[in-house]
Amino acid sequence: MTVTSVHKDPEALTMTVHASFGAPIERVWQLWDDPRQLERWWGPPVYPATVAHHELRAGGTMSYFMTGPQGDQPHGWWRVLEVDAPKRLVFLNGFGDANGEPDPAMPTMTFRVELSAGTDGATSMTVEIEFPSLEAMTQVMSMGMEEGFTLAMSQIDAMLEEGATH
């Protein structure tokens, strides 16, 4: 399985997901860098993502929506803070309205993605998600974030096995 561990730390206001992939670091980086690949795994299987805008550079933005089984379309956005390809990505992630504008009633989270190449050609990925408060963490967790993100990441292995580059 892709995800090897999930650790929630309410004191540090973080959830950290560790995953391992049988692919080189450059290939795993493409999963973040290519919007068509990102949308194939960013949403859980029952809420596939559609990336409307993708600008993966410091200062760039990304907007997306997920389509649920009932046709609902929750929107989200990123504000990219740091990119050090193919090793590190830091971005703010939040909920948005239909125009991709941030929803001020919902929390914004900081995602820190670290990729490291193993000696066996595999790649380790750590995604640390930091919440602005315990209330925000509790709110997002109660919406199913841990399960949803784990299910989303579980789709990556199949993409890597098929050798998808588009």
User: How far does Cα 153 stand from its chain's mean position?
Assistant: 8
Of 89, 91, 82, residue with least CA distance to 114: 89
| Helices marked H in 9-123 | 25-33, 35-41
Name the pTM for this structure.
0.93
115 lies in some domain: yes
86 lies in some domain: yes
* Spatial separation of the C-alpha atoms in residues 60 and 80, rounded to whole Å: 5
Q: Please, what are the averages of pLDDT over each run of 10 residues along the chain (166 residues)?
A: 90 97 96 96 93 96 94 95 98 89 92 94 96 97 94 93 64
User: Average model confidence (pLDDT) for the chain?
Assistant: 93
166 lies in some domain: no
Of 59, 97, 47, residue with least CA distance to 77: 97
CATH of the domain at 21: 3.30.530.20
CB count, 10 Å around CB of 62?
Answer: 22
Provide CB contacts within 8 A for 19, sequence distance 6+.
Answer: 2, 3, 4, 124, 125, 126, 127, 153, 156
Q: How many domains does the chain have?
A: 1
Expressed as residue numbers, the domain containing 124 is 3-161
pLDDT for res 162: 84
28 lies in some domain: yes
Of 17, 38, 2, residue with least CA distance to 122: 2
116 lies in some domain: yes
133 lies in some domain: yes
The tens digit of pLDDT for each residue in 61-70 reads 999 999 999 9
Q: φ, ψ for residue 73 (rounded to 5)?
A: -135, 80
91 lies in some domain: yes
Helix or strand holding residue 130 (H, E): strand 123-130
* Spatial separation of the C-alpha atoms in residues 8 and 25, rounded to whole Å: 26
pLDDT for res 24: 95
Of 122, 33, 36, 34, residue with least CA distance to 84: 33
Cα 158-147-134 angle, rounded to 5 deg? 140
107 lies in some domain: yes
3 state SS of 37:
helix
